[in-house]
Amino acid sequence: MNIITVFFFAVLRDKAGVKQTVMEIPLNTKISEFKNIVVNQFPNIASSMESTLISVNKEVAFEDDIIPDGAEVALFPPVGGG
């Protein structure tokens, strides 16, 4: 198992009810799998996950990227502008 720190920003922080949390995830968890894990723990963010930007150790992460042990994973909602 990997231990990671997850940070929630903006509206995701409000929906999750926490600013950050420590999670234990299986070894070799991909971002696509992580999304399901985090939604199971924080169901209020489910509607936002489709368009959420995820970074791992301050770099943009993609669906097939593996989350390493000790990683800092940040979730950002989409930013709108006009």
pLDDT of residue 75: 98
pLDDT, one tens digit per residue, over 22-80 is 999 999 999 999 999 999 999 999 999 989 999 999 999 999 999 999 999 999 997 76
Position 72 in a domain: yes
CA–CA dist 75, 42 (Å, integer): 12
Q: Residue 65 half-sphere exposure, CB side, CA atoms within 13 Å?
A: 16
Structural domain range at position 38: 2-76
Position 38 in a domain: yes
Using the predicted structure, report yes or no on whether residue 82 has a pLDDT greater than 90.
no
Number of compact structural domains in the chain: 1
Position 81 in a domain: no
DSSP class of residue 72 equals E
Position 82 in a domain: no
